[in-house]
Structure 1
Amino acid sequence: MADKPSQLQSVIRFQEAYMEQEKMHKRKVRIVRSMLLVLFLALWELCARLGMIDDFIFSSPSRVLFCFWKMVRDGSIFAHIGITLFETVVSFAIVTASGICVAVLLWASRSASEILEPYLVMLNSLPKSALAPMLIVWMGSHVHTIIAAAVSVAVFGSILTLHTGFLSMDPDKIRLIYALGGSKKDVLTKVLLPGSVPLILSNMKVNVGLCLVGVIIGEFLAARRGLGYLIIYGSQVFSCVYI
């Protein structure tokens, strides 16, 4: 009995040492990550000032910062960021909701899954940038078109990922629900959705980036505001500070 307090203290000291080691590791990672970014920007600026690269084509961090500050002062950057952020958030919400709903429907209906899965795979394999011009022809040059382009980039892959995750759920848990007299609805609400939360969150992280890419692609072709429009404008006037 006398050894238990000492054993408990040893465990506590081990946990504290482990937590301190993890903190040091995370701090080291942040420092090295920041140093790499600073080193890259410093080399970029140095090469531009020494004439090793053409600053008209490649620009430089100081010129980019000056242009950004100029747009902050006149407020134009906030309008461009705001519209791109709005389109990204709306498309992300649509992709997340529709991805979960369609994946649940495919899980609930084996026939629907077997019929629709080949088409979803085909649509997901299409080059996403090729859909944007078609959407402009069909829907016109509007914000809705850009949101639709962003949704088309992410939604099919989201459905397939979630559907595959739903099908790989632990069958023993599902059989237990049925053995206790539960229905398919009980399996959905008590096993499938709670057990798929990590998968859904991971899928949402991917969808954020894909929706932003889709919005930028849409703004390349059908926008007069937004970060995608700024990139196209910069390439047209040969001003890389906007890009």
Structure 2
Amino acid sequence: MKNQTRLHFGLYHAVIVGGLFALWQVLSSRGLISPFFFGEPAHIFGVIGRWFTSGEIYIHLLVTLAETLFAFAIGAILGMVLGLWLALSPFWSRLFEPYIKAANAMPRVIFAPIFAIWFGLGIWSKVALGVTLVLFVVFFNVYQGVREVSPTLIANARMLGASKKHMLRYVYLPSAASWVFSSLHNAIGLAFVGAVIGEYLGSSRGVGHLILQAESVFDVNTVFAGIIVLSAFALTLDAVMTRIERKVLVWSPNHGTSSQA
């Protein structure tokens, strides 16, 4: 049943996406929209095919993947640690609250040039930008998830003699797990965005660098080719995160429902 449902939705998606590209191709080939500004799917997929057959794209994808994973891992770990610490420490939470809100309100993209000066044009300036995007998303979800734990559950665990270590492992973390994974889905996308924006603003490798090169010579087909590759890449990362979530949250009441979807 699950496989049939997935197959049906896969067919629906194929029809929708295929129909959109077919309409785009017809409009472009007949001059109803300008190929110079909107490109043509036939040429766009020709660029993608050339990238993969020649192997040109692989080094750029590898660089973007490395930047994304480093930013995601560092930002997620920092966000979870800070979220747990402040959620369980009312004094420090109240003390640092205005600074955290001020830092979160800053448009982090403006730090990209500063990180390029500090860390150079290699991967670490992109990682630093990605970390600033990931950290706050994970932090606020973990912080809220821990604070939403049922007081009755906490009281019962303490009555049974649970230590702080046991409370953290068996009460706070499981209760906040759904919040954590909800934030991680957003975080992996933001890490990816940070990597690409950093590449776009200054780099010698990465898919963002390919798009920037194409824009400089008004090659809109290559720009759209890069966008499509990045979109497929982002969907793949999200699918990996979904599989990990299903493996970890096997005890969740919504696990079976999410698996069927």
Over aligned residues, Cα RMSD in angstroms?
A: 1.7
In 2, Cα distance between equivalents of 1:233 and 1:89: 24
Q: Deviations over 1:151-183 (max 9, x none)?
A: 111211210111011101111111112222323
Q: Retained in 2: the 8 A contact 1:124–1:157?
A: no
* Corresponding pairs, count: 223
Matched residue, 1:240: 220
After TM superposition, the score normalised by the length of structure 2 is 0.80
Q: Which amino acid aligns with 2:121?
A: S
Gaps spanning 5+ residues in structure 2: where? 224-261
Question: Is the 1:153–1:214 Cα contact (8 Å) retained in structure 2?
Answer: yes
Q: Residue 157 of structure 2: SS of its match in structure 1?
A: helix
1:148 matched residue in structure 2: 128
Q: Choose the corresponding residue for 2:117, options 137, 156, 159.
A: 137
SS at 2:65 equivalent: helix
The alpha-carbon deviation at position 142 of structure 1 amounts to 2.1
Q: Distance in 2 between matches of 1:32 and 1:217?
A: 32
Identity score, percent? 28
Q: How does 1:39-188 map to 2 (within 5 A)?
A: 39-188=19-168
Distance 2:198 2:59 in 1: 17
CA distance in structure 1 between the partners assigned to 2:97 and 2:40 by the alignment: 48
TM-score by length of 1: 0.85
CA offsets 1:36-72 (integer angstroms, 9 cap, x no match): 1011100111111101111122111111111112222
1:217 aligned onto 2:197: yes
Local SS of the residue matching 1:241: helix
DSSP 3-state at the match of 1:242: helix
Is 1:34 aligned to 2:14, yes or no? yes
Instruction: Name the SS for the 2:218 alignment partner.
Output: coil
User: Are 2:83 and 2:140, in contact at CA under 8 Å, matched by a contact in 1?
Assistant: yes
Q: 1:222 is matched by which residue type in structure 2?
A: G
Question: Which one has the largest radius of gyration?
Answer: 1
Task: State whether residues 108 and 133 of structure 2, in contact with CA within 8 Å, keep that contact through their aligned partners in structure 1.
Answer: yes
